[in-house]
Amino acid sequence: MAVSELAGKPAPREMLVNIPRLISAYYTQKPDPNNPAHAVAFGTSGHRGSSFASTFNEDHILAISQAIAEYRASQGTTGPLYLGMDTHALSEPALTTAIEVLAANGVEVFVQEGRGYTPTPVISHAILTYNKGRTEGLADGVVITPSHNPPGDGGFKYNPPSGGPADTGTTKIVQDRANELLREGLKSVKRYCIDHALSLDNVHQYDYVTPYVNDLANVIDMDAIAKSGLKIGVDPMGGAGVGYWRPIIEKYGLNIEIVNPYVDPTFSFMTVDKDGKIRMDCSSPYAMASLIGLKDRFDIAFGNDPDTDRHGVVAPSVGLLNPNHYLAVAISYLFQNRPNWRADAAVGKTLVSSSMIDRVAAGLGRRLAEVPVGFKWFVDGLVDGSYGFGGEESAGASFLRTDGTVWTTDKDGIILDLLAAEITAKTGRDPGQHYQDMEAKFGSPVYERIDAPATVEQGKILANLTPDKVTADTLAGDKITAKLTRAPGNDAPIGGLKVVTENGWFAARPSGTEPIYKIYAESFKGAEHLKAIQEEAQQIVSAALGA
């Protein structure tokens, strides 16, 4: 993909979304139940869309909320439902719609006082805190967010009592019921007007901030950060974390400067991403250009996406750390500085994350648990402490409390931010410097994701390949050591193909929304070798599809 001439530059005013028109479309545009493009579709992170495209409208949220109310009743989930939203413009009307439906269904709903914003990890933390020691009357939650997606998008995801993203079995039940409700004209949807809903005894105004902030000392060495006097910069990027950093500063006495304390649904303060769109991706050097430009003002700095489940760490030594690089540093540090974790606690990674993590895990003598793409695969391991860490290449991760018990089962950008400060405070070196040490020890990998064309039918074939369809014996001059269509860590289908050699690998997965497949590739032998891997990857995939 060519880099836009606007990439890394302030967003021009003509690019900003028309918020009144976007909200109007939420209420006035009706999805066609006979149009598959308008249907409720739960991906790895819930249902997403835009009101302009008739893919995220009031009817969708009415149907999904009713489907969730029915599902939790069928599962005997009778505890509170923790409901939160991020700062996207469509999140506010969707929150109102959800409250109206959940209240009418008799669900005990907890929303932030003053209808404020709630990060994804805070919802997970609230669910797990409530459910600790309970076997019945369990809590679950909903987060209204399209993550880092552009300002005109909306998203809606369900977290069951495990606190993390719902598995595909659950989301299929909710998705199918929601689409059934759309087809029947929403006749079975129960709903109260918002004023009546908010007056009911089962709808509660709740302080999410204080319990989460007070508990941070049990997952991060906050005293070490405070005593170090580190000068820290944080950019919430106009997201749900904006209301959390001031209480963190006050509670722990940290020297933090909030460089952007504002919420603006147009996200007009953003610099444009690589493809010329406004996207609050804290792992993108283009979207993070403003904070990167301030790196020399701080000992460490970081940003988050709108629902605060992702992290972007800016170090004076290197600028914005590549997400894979920081995951490797975090893993190396944590497993050497958390003595109360289980001795057999594994390192969890997605199969498209860097093999640097494999080498770090081997150096630590820790089991590597390589799972398919999606944070839901880390939930069980984090709950029982058998995974000390779970991380995705897209800058999302969580890890255990210092005593080895679960913190969150969803990605937590706040603790990954604060971990970067802890690392810097306790070692006297920033994470970028630590990664340079790793390269000297393990080699210097080159990693990239590219797209290749594929029809819908080819995508289906790719998602269901078996290793015997790959006939090649070598990849970019190296002997192939593994051909994977199931994840080594849990034997779950990966929805694609991964081919591994001693010095590199590629993984190919079909897109769920576009006529392409994604090729993730990495080489420990340099850029030319990586290019050879990418070229041969397309040949290997084409041959497998043909077979």
| Residues tagged active-site | 147
DSSP three-state, residue 539: helix
DSSP H or E segment with residue 168: helix 168-183
Cα(363)–Cα(437) distance, integer angstroms:
13
CA-based nearest residue to 305, from 286, 279, 327, 331: 279
What residues are paired with 232 via a beta bridge?
A: 256, 300
DSSP H or E segment with residue 546: helix 527-546
289-298: list long-range contacts, CB under 8 Å, 24+ apart.
289/8, 289/9, 290/235, 290/259, 290/260, 291/233, 291/235, 291/259, 291/320, 292/319, 292/320, 294/233, 294/259, 295/319, 297/231, 297/233, 297/257, 298/231, 298/232, 298/233, 298/257
Which residue type is seen at 186?
Answer: L
What residues are paired with 368 via a beta bridge?
A: 347
Measured between alpha carbons, how far is residue 495 from residues 252, 385, 510 in Å?
44, 27, 8
Angle, CA of 418, 422 and 423, to the nearest 5°? 115
What residues are paired with 154 via a beta bridge?
A: 49
166: DSSP letter: P
CB 545 within 8 A of CB 458: yes
In this structure, the chain runs to a length of 547
Cα(155)–Cα(139) distance, integer angstroms:
21
